[in-house]
Amino acid sequence: MEYLLDLTTLMQILSRQQQSGELLASRVYVPGMNELCQAHLDLVDGAIRSCVIRTVAGSVLAQGDNAVVVLANLVLKWNWTVHQTEPLASQTPRPQSQAQPQTGRNDVFEIPYKAERINLTELNALSRTHRKVFGLIDGTRSIKRIAELLSPSERVELPTILRDLRTKGMIYQ
């Protein structure tokens, strides 16, 4: 679900509902920064468990309470994903995530975007898994979220597929 609100108002809503999940804002313009950023929050029972602001390149700008203060009054397009159990950040790592040696820790929070112009012949020549990953790229999902939507065998191929799509000029991060 998407919300176009400031974080303070959104947190009032989610805390009243005792919601657990993940908030992601992919296009954050932080005052004083010349670079596009991403904000990621994990909530448990309506309370913020973690908050981080990263540059698109993956560098951490702020985290914890400092990040919440920066985001508090910015009106952003938030993507809300409800967790049925604990937030993914607090779960024990799964073996599949260890099978991704080419994806660094910061890369999983990056959000890939589709290029404006795509060669249809090149798109049709892609493997089924490549096309599936390409279809999941919508400018709001992080690499971590895309991996969660794939089968375990597809998840292992994700770093290679993303590299292939970047090389072909079909996506950028």
Can you give the residue ranges of every domain in the chain?
2-90, 95-172
CA 58 from chain center: how many Å? Answer: 11
Both tokens assigned to 93: 């790592």
Residue spans of beta strands (DSSP E) within 29-149: 37-44, 47-55, 60-63, 75-82, 113-114
Pairwise CA distance, residues 132 & 53, whole Å? 28
Tell if the pTM clears 0.85, that is, is over it.
Answer: no
One pLDDT digit (tens) per residue for the chain, 173 residues: 788 888 888 888 888 888 788 899 888 888 777 888 889 998 888 888 889 988 877 788 888 988 899 898 888 888 888 775 444 443 333 333 333 344 444 577 788 888 877 777 888 889 999 989 988 888 888 898 889 888 888 999 999 999 999 898 888 87
